Structures are given as C-alpha cells and as structure tokens.
C-alpha cells in the first residue's frame, strides 16, 4: 500500500523562502561590505518577509516565531551575510525584545509595529567607553526633572547607533547602588542625542557601529522602560536570550565557510599543492587533509547546532536555559572563528582575496566571540553553574 506523503514540517517553507531572499540580496550586501555602508535597500527588500519582527507577536505586526525557528532563521542570515545577521539579531533580540518584555502596552504599540515593518531600526545602548564586561559600572546618568528624564553620558560600540529610529538606553538612576541603581529607557533621536564616531571595523563592515553622546538629552518621564532601578536585571535577562539567538548566526557562518570550501575543492580551485588531485584520484586511499578538515568542522557544527536548538526549546518552554545558552554562545563563537580559519587554510590563495566569501567570514567571525558577552564571560557563567551544582554535568533535563 502506498504511504501517504509526510506532513510538511512547520516553518520549513519560511526558512527556504528566507534563504532564497537572502541570496537575492548578496550582490548588494557585497557592495555595502566593500563601501562600509548600512544596507537600507536590503532592509526594505526583506521587510515583506517579516524578518524585522521575527519574535514579536502578531498583534504588534511580527511573525511570532518561537526561538527554535528564530535561531534557524538567523543561521540563514549568518550564512548569507554576518553584517546583516547582526542587524537582524540585535534589532529583534536586544532592542525589540527589551521593549516586548519590559515595555508598557503603549510603548509596545508605539514602537514594535514600526520596527517589524523595517520602518525604523532599533539600537541597544549599554556598553560605555570606560566600562568593560561588568555593565553594573556604567556611568551614564538619568535624573528626573520637571516630568522629564535628563540623560548625560556616552555609549560606545552601539550596533545601529547612527541609523536607529528607536534606542533602548541604560543609565544610572540611583548612584552608588551598583546593579540596584540602573534603569532602562526607550527613546527616539532628538536634541541632546548626538552621534559620535562611526567605527571602522576589521569585519562586519556593513553593520553600523557608532558612539553616542547624551548631552542633557531630555525624554518624557513615561519613557522609563520597566521598573525603576531594575534595568541591570532587565539587561541580563535580555542578554541571556540574545546569546541563544546570536549562536544561530555563528552556526550559519561556519556552515557557509564549509559550503564554500567544498565548492572550491569540487571546482578544482584550491591552491594547496596536489590536494585536489588527491581528492580526485584516491578517494579510498585514506583520510586526506581536505576530508579531515571538513569532517571535523561539520561534526562540530551539527553538535553545536543541537545544543543551540536545545537551549532555544528550553527558552520557548520557559524553562531554565541560561547555562545551555552560554554553552551555545561559547562554542558557536569558537566554531565560527576556527572553521573560517580552517577553511581559509584549505582553499589557499583564493582566500587571500578581500572579496572572497570565506575571507569575509573570517574577518567577521571574531565579533561573535566578543559581542553579547565574551567567551571569557561565558566561561565564568558556565563554571559558576557547575561549581554550585556538579550534577549539571549529567544528562540535561528533558524538554
């Protein structure tokens, strides 16, 4: 008896359609990378696919994707262009998710629909010039005067800093209280919010990164986001979820590097002496250099993808996921850096060209070991969990 066709996997068409649409944008994205310009044309072109509101509920114009699917979507972004991927991830996971999680209904209705349509981009301003990874030491202040908050200070390495239409800004509202004295605010560009230096970066050249200077920047009292003096806790919660999401980008970068190396080998363009000939002439002779590198990178890719999707499922089910999110962030960032390095070694001289795709991925990859919590910070988080509860080394809980 003939078997009925298997039911279509949920969201499969969305992922396939997104992959096709991203591929259509590759020529423009390459130009933006070379010229170091923000890809507004690509933002507008992708808006009909809902990618600027992937995790926003449908009532706010978003797609309402679960994180398990959102991570897979970001993998496609990472495979196509890691600059655009960072734009999509920070817009959704940092700025947008902070408004979604901690905003009032009026704040959500004011900003999320416009963000979902790609009408405005979102920026998340936490990092400061004099503060490293310990965000509770930020120095920007917010003082309530006559029904307005007045903000003074500077932010640095703000993604979408010079192009955003809405900012989530963290500032000290109770000096001396450390992590119990920081609040979050939502604001639009205006007098007193000045764009500073736009960063010229080694990689991610089509991602906008800028300094912000807040000089008596006045915003209405109701622009407080969430609870007064609880902004640090809000930031940490948002970063926890963001680490799961950004892991998807790193996975896409690693996958794309392997895909391009395989294409290079199969097309005979590799410049490692006799490597392609050995690949062709003695396929059964043993584990050649190219096969070893590809098999190891691909095995790590699949293993870390499973870990990332596991963390995403826990997040969707509102279960404890932070340990696995930090593990995914740590390993995926290292995977992106190591895989792009290995694949450059594999393809040889072609990889020295500035416009080579693997060369671009290599330049971009370092950020994914740094942004949204460095690899060292992830190691600190993971070790704290394990030292207090060694039982976590055993099989993780079922979802």
Whether residue 261 is found in the same domain as residue 368: yes
121, 149, 168 — which closes off a domain? 121
| Residue 115 and residue 195 share a domain | no
Clarify whether residues 23 and 111 are in a common domain: yes
- CA dist 26 and 15 (Å) reads 17
The answer to whether residue 156 sits within a structural domain is yes
In a domain, 7, yes or no: no
User: 307 with 213, same domain?
Assistant: no
Q: Tell me the whole-structure pTM to 2 decimals.
A: 0.92
**Nearest-10 Cα torsion for 68, 115, 322, 231:** -160
| 95 & 139 share domain | no
**Cα 229 from Cα 234, distance rounded (Å):** 10
The parent domain of residue 165 ranges over 123-228
272-to-24, 285, 350 alpha-carbon distances in Å:
32, 18, 10
69 within domain boundaries: yes
Q: Based on the domain organization, do 131 and 114 belong to the same domain? A: no
pLDDT tens-digit readout, 316-327: 999 999 999 999
* Weakest mean pLDDT among 205-219, 278-292, 323-337: 278-292
- The DSSP output letter for 3 is P
Establish if 3 belongs to a structural domain: no
Catalytic option among 68, 89, 128, 372:
372
pLDDT classification of 266: cutoffs 50, 70, 90: confident
Residues 239 and 367 grouped into a single domain: yes
| Residue at a domain's end among 75, 105, 121 | 121
Is 36 within the bounds of a domain?
yes
2 within some domain: no
Does 9 score more than 90 pLDDT?
no
Confirm whether 109 is domain-assigned: yes
| Residue 110 designated active-site | no
Tokens for 92, please give them. 């959704």
Spatial contact of 215 and 152, defined as CB atoms under 8 Å apart: yes
Q: 65, 95, 121: which is the final residue of a domain? A: 121
pLDDT-derived band at 352 (thresholds 50, 70, 90) equals: confident
């Amino acid at each position: 008896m003939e078997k009925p066709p298997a039911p279509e996997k949920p969201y499969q068409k969305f992922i396939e359609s997104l992959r096709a649409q991203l591929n259509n944008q590759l020529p423009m994205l390459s130009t933006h990378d070379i010229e170091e310009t923000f890809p507004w044309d690509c933002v507008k072109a992708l808006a009909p696919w809902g990618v600027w509101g992937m995790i926003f509920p449908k009532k706010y114009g978003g797609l309402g994707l679960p994180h398990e699917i959102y991570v897979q979507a970001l993998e496609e972004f990472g495979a196509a262009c890691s600059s655009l991927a960072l734009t999509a991830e920070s817009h959704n996971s940092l700025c947008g998710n902070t408004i979604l999680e901690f905003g009032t209904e009026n704040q959500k209705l004011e900003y999320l629909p416009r963000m979902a349509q790609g009408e405005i981009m979102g920026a998340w301003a936490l990092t400061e010039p004099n503060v490293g990874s310990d965000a509770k030491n930020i120095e920007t202040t917010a003082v309530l005067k006559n029904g307005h908050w007045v903000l003074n200070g500077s932010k640095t390495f703000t993604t979408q800093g010079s192009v955003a239409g809405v900012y989530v800004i963290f500032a000290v509202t109770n000096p001396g209280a450390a992590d119990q004295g920081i609040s979050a605010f939502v604001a639009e560009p205006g007098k007193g919010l000045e764009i500073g230096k736009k960063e010229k970066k080694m990689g991610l050249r089509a991602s906008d990164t800028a300094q912000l200077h807040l000089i008596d920047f006045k915003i209405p009292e109701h622009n407080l986001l969430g609870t007064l003096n609880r902004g640090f806790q809000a930031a940490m919660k948002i970063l926890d979820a963001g680490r799961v999401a950004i892991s998807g980008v790193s996975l896409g970068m690693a996958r794309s590097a392997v895909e391009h190396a395989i294409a290079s080998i199969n097309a005979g363009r590799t410049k490692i002496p006799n490597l392609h000939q050995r690949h062709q002439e003695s396929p059964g002779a043993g584990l050649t250099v190219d096969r070893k590198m590809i098999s190891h990178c691909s095995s790590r890719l699949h293993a870390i993808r499973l870990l990332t999707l596991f963390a995403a499922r826990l997040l969707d089910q509102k279960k404890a996921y932070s340990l696995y999110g930090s593990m995914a962030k740590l390993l995926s960032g290292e995977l992106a850096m190591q895989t792009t390095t290995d694949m450059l070694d594999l393809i040889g001289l072609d990889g020295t060209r500035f416009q080579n795709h693997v060369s671009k991925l290599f330049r971009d990859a370092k950020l994914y070991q740094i942004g949204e919590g460095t690899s060292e910070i992830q190691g600190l988080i993971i070790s704290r969990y394990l030292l207090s509860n060694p039982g976590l080394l055993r099989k993780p809980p079922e979802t």
